[in-house]
Structure 1
Amino acid sequence: MILNHIWGLYTHPKDEWQTIEKRHESLTYSMIHILVVALIPTICGYYAAAHIGWTIGVGDPIKINQSSAQLMAVALYCALIVGVLALAYLIQWMAKTFDAKPSFVQSLELAAYTSTPMLMVGIAALYPVLWFVALAGVAAVCYSIYLLYSGVPIMMNIPEEKGFIYSSSVVTCGLVLLVGMMAFSAIMWSMGFGPEYIS
């Protein structure tokens, strides 16, 4: 089953990391996991932007037309997948510093399962009120960081002390990656690729 580790990562994460470590899945399995879970924020974000409208504060909800929403949804989907793959590459690249030798598949598993709460929280977009989505996003980021800190020592087979520093390095790289993607989005938006609003 494609999503069989998700429940375990929410209910007993350390035990689930042990299970993932014992039976590594294939690259295809990890990619299918990412491709499926990344659909959640993509579809929910599209529906919220085109059909419900975002509430920023007072005033009417802000909607964009369907073609703009579709274009943004496709861009979001691609960005999420590229982001998880880039995080996996960074995890593998930094491993040598911490005396770990993971394969790319191990690194991808760690990146994919760590990113899962942040992707699944995309369902919050179905109630597109800015403060609600922001709070849900903060909670998801906190849980993803917890999963990373608990999973790195197990998945990389290193002591917890090294795992803490390794995880902190991954979090830092992840934040830099996120800021880079946001900057790229802002540049594209300013070059005329922004959405068309519906009045």
Structure 2
Amino acid sequence: MFHHSLGIMTKPSAAWRRLAQLDDTSQALMLLYPLIWAILPAYAWYIGTTQVGWTVGVGRDVIRLTDESARLISFLFYGGMVSCVVAIGYFIHWMSETYGAQSSFIKGILIASVCATPLFIAGAVGFYPVLWLDMLIGVFAVCWSTYLLYNGIPIVMKIPDSRGFLFASAVIGVSLVMLVCLLVATTLLWDWGAMPAFTD
């Protein structure tokens, strides 16, 4: 499973071709992919916000979250990542017929999971929460994930590049909607008791 992660980061086209040739059982096993990878950013941000902390401005006090607050937020963060991957995977499957591709729900989740690999890896910046560095790495990860989507959809779905481009663009639109839904959910969860609690 993890050799696909290395391949997708270094030789994406070859890695997508290998993933496209997986049988149904191997594809089903790849459902563990987002469940395992999503642990990295959730744990990193838990450690970063409770042990390392961050500052706002120069010479200010270090800000940290309490263990209980960070644990709850990290758990919800993990659930949000996995839920978004599954939802985007469902929409990839749902839209596939429109673009002349044969798909399954598992294949949709596979594509969404593999495209999220750079985001999962970039989540490790949470161990050292510095805003400018985290934003820089985050922007690079989003760009690489977008490239993987445009590169992988035609290969895995076995459709022409022109249709693959339109398909991937539609997936980007769905992903932006998912981002807005995640922001709304975050606001609601904060209102319902998951608001960060800071140490003294």
TM-score band, normalised by shorter chain: over 0.9
Opposite residue 61 of structure 1, the aligned amino acid is: V
Deviation at 1:184, TM superposition (A): 1.1
TM-score, structure 1 normalization: 0.95
The 1:148/1:60 distance shift into structure 2, 3 A limit, reads: same
CA deviations 1:51-101 (Å, max 9, x no partner) are: 111234332222110000000111111111111100100101111111112
CA deviations 1:7-54 (Å, max 9, x no partner) are: 111111001100110124232x22221111001101001001111112
Matches within 5 A, 1:148-159: 148-159=149-160
Q: Percent identity?
A: 34
Residue 46 in structure 1 maps to residue 46 in structure 2: yes
Matches within 5 A, 1:92-103: 92-103=93-104
1:198 is paired with a residue whose SS is: coil
Aligned to 1:169: 170
2:139 is paired with a residue whose SS is: helix
Do the aligned partners of 1:56 and 1:130 also contact (CA within 8 Å) in 2?
A: no
Opposite residue 198 of structure 1, the aligned amino acid is: T
TM-score, structure 2 normalization: 0.94
Do the aligned partners of 2:31 and 2:106 also contact (CA within 8 Å) in 1?
A: no
Deviation at 1:150, TM superposition (A): 0.2
Deviation at 1:4, TM superposition (A): 1.6
Matches of 2:117 and 2:194, distance apart in 1:
28
The 1:21/1:77 distance shift into structure 2, 3 A limit, reads: same
Matches within 5 A, 1:26-65: 26-27=27-28, 29-58=29-58, 59-65=60-66
Matches of 1:51 and 1:190, distance apart in 2:
25
2:2 is paired with a residue whose SS is: coil
Aligned to 1:6: 5
Matches of 1:195 and 1:15, distance apart in 2:
43
Aligned residues: 197
Opposite residue 38 of structure 1, the aligned amino acid is: A
Do the aligned partners of 2:72 and 2:194 also contact (CA within 8 Å) in 1?
A: no
Aligned to 2:19: 20
Using the TM superposition, name which of 159-168 and 181-190 deviates more.
Answer: 181-190
- What are structure 1's unaligned runs of at least 5 residues? none
Matches of 2:56 and 2:156, distance apart in 1:
41
Residue 78 in structure 1 maps to residue 56 in structure 2: no
Aligned to 1:104: 105
Do the aligned partners of 2:27 and 2:110 also contact (CA within 8 Å) in 1?
A: no
Matches of 1:170 and 1:137, distance apart in 2:
19
Do the aligned partners of 1:83 and 1:177 also contact (CA within 8 Å) in 2?
A: yes
Matches of 1:98 and 1:176, distance apart in 2:
20
CA deviations 1:152-182 (Å, max 9, x no partner) are: 0001111000100110110110011011111
Matches of 1:55 and 1:90, distance apart in 2:
39
Opposite residue 21 of structure 1, the aligned amino acid is: A
Do the aligned partners of 1:56 and 1:129 also contact (CA within 8 Å) in 2?
A: no
Using the TM superposition, name which of 178-187 and 188-197 deviates more.
Answer: 188-197
Do the aligned partners of 1:55 and 1:130 also contact (CA within 8 Å) in 2?
A: no
